[in-house]
Amino acid sequence: MSYVEVPGAKVPIRMWADPATVDPGALQQLQNVSTLPWIKGLAVMPDVHYGKGATVGSVIAMQGAVCPAAVGVDIGCGMSAVKTSLTANDLPGDLSRLRSKIEQAIPVGRGMHDEPVDPGRLHGFGTAGWEDFWGRFDGVADAVKFREGRAVKQMGTLGSGNHFVELCVDMSDSVWLMLHSGSRNIGKELADHHIGVAQGLSHNQNLVDRDLAVFIAETPQMAAYRNDLFWAQEYAKYNRTIMMALFKDVIRKEFKKAKPMFDPEISAHHNYISEERYDGMDLLVTRKGAIRAGSGEYGIIPGSMGTGSYIVKGLGNAASFNSASHGAGRKMSRNAAKKRFSTRDLEEQTRGVECRKDSGVVDEIPGAYKPIEQVIDQQRDLVEVVAKLKQVVCVKG
């Protein structure tokens, strides 16, 4: 489908979804965002749903201002995927050992490494820029610096919620490695700190929603936020790169005889800000639960833990600010999912996937998400499908 334009907004709201199927609360959030004086347009993805301040699954283009809550608290959260030389025939019938080895290599939940990961010891990891990156940690907000030890030890860890590590097979029986994570606790603390600062500024006192507080260009507060934001986005990218290197090491050891090789990594943020130019204007484009899908750019659109995912290539649709969805998108809250579904439902909906099937991940059950095939179909003018993946191992936080 192409987009529909939401009526009654002060700026164009282009939606790649049927407005009648979108939660009223999310629709109201979109209208709220459109009232900001600096807004130049919104693009709404088919996985749109209610979020904090701004909806998840929205692309917000602003001039001379940025809203930190519209980035989200998991700054730089995103996906990475790698195609391997392995095929489905190389996989053992029992995948429980492989899941265990992945969980041993990559801490999940609130876990962290006992000692910081030394990237110099990781096979194929490029260390250029690593020391400079950590050197810039001294320049982030003083309010979070005391977490330095934790930030270092959480580098290369998964986290919880909807974060995951998966082994997948595509329609040609090729094996893929895929993972989803972000900037861990340090990104959240930086986001919370700056959201609080923004809410205290005088120009934000009469907003329709205090969570839409913004920083304005050429102010000290904006400069501080941009510094910390871009550092956290880089942290998130490094975090995924290190986890993927650890994942590859597991695969090399477990499939030593097959001598696995790996294609170049595909990596894409879906909670971040980018400086881009549209209609002759320099804009700050916030993607909260959306990926960049410029012409020819590769992206990853995952489904839920029992369905599948898609590798896509962007079509460069300027109407969407060169964007596409970041996943299937929730159709019910975590609490609602826990009330509606049982562990038996989880077992049934993840049949054939080696994964946790306990009460701790019922809120991530496929039934709590929109159908990924429908989400893909609604953005055929934004991306083309390169590969469809089906997970056979899923490690959740």
pLDDT by residue (tens digit) across 322-365? 999 999 999 999 999 999 999 999 999 999 999 999 999 999 99
Mean pLDDT in residue range 43-63: 95
> What span, in angstroms and rounded, lies between the C-alpha atoms of 95 and 86?
15
Find, among 252, 336, 381, 286, the residue nearest to 39 by Cα: 286
pLDDT at 144: 79
Residues annotated as catalytic are: 326
Give whole-number Cα distances, 127 to 25, 76, 133, 242, 262, in Å: 45, 20, 10, 11, 19
pLDDT in tens, 259-302: 999 999 999 999 999 999 999 999 999 999 999 999 999 999 99
Answer yes or no: pTM beyond 0.85. Answer: yes
Q: Let me know: does 106 contact 158? Beta carbons within 8 Å.
A: yes
For the stretch 52-90, what's the b/e string if a residue is b when 16 or more beta carbons lie within 10 angstroms of its beta carbon? Answer: ebbbbbbbbbbebbbbbbbbbbbbbbbbbbbbbebeeeb
Mean pLDDT in residue range 35-48: 95
pLDDT at 10: 84
Q: If you search the block for the tokens 């790169």, which residue do you land on? A: 241
Phi and psi, residue 104, nearest 5°: -70, -35
- Per-chain mean pLDDT for the chain: 95
> What span, in angstroms and rounded, lies between the C-alpha atoms of 14 and 318?
11
pLDDT at residue 147 tops 70: no
Q: What is the 3-state secondary structure (H, E, C) of the chain?
A: CCCEECCCCCCCEEECCCHHHCCHHHHHHHHHHHCCCCEEEEEEEEEEECCCCCCEEEEEEECCEECHHHCCCCCCCEEEEEEEEEEHHHCCCCCHHHHHHHHHHCCCCCCCCCCCCCHHHCCCCCCCCHHHHHHHHHHCCHHHHHHHHHHHHHCCCCCCCCCEEEEEEECCCEEEEEEEECCHHHHHHHHHHHHHHHHCCHHHCCCCCHHHCCEECCCHHHHHHHHHHHHHHHHHHHHHHHHHHHHHHHHHHHCHHHCCCECCCEEEECEEEEEEEECCEEEEEEEECEEECCCCCEEEEECCCCCCEEEEEECCCHHHCCEEECCCCECCCHHHHHHHCCHHHHHHHCCCCEECCCHHHHHHCHHHECCHHHHHHCCCCCEEEEEEEEEEEEEEC
Q: Is the dihedral of CA 279, 280, 286, 291 positive or negative?
A: positive
pLDDT at 8: 81
Instruction: Tell me the pLDDT band of 149, cut-offs 50, 70 and 90.
Output: confident
What is the total residue count of the chain?
A: 397
Mean pLDDT in residue range 13-18: 95
Residue 346 C-beta-side C-alpha neighbours within 13 Å: 20
- Find all residues with CB under 8 Å of 202, minimum gap 6, and list them: none
pLDDT: which is higher, 124 or 276: 276
Mean pLDDT in residue range 313-318: 98
- Find all residues with CB under 8 Å of 174, minimum gap 6, and list them: 83, 84, 86, 87
Mean pLDDT in residue range 224-246: 96
pLDDT at residue 146 tops 80: no
pLDDT at 236: 97
pLDDT at 127: 79
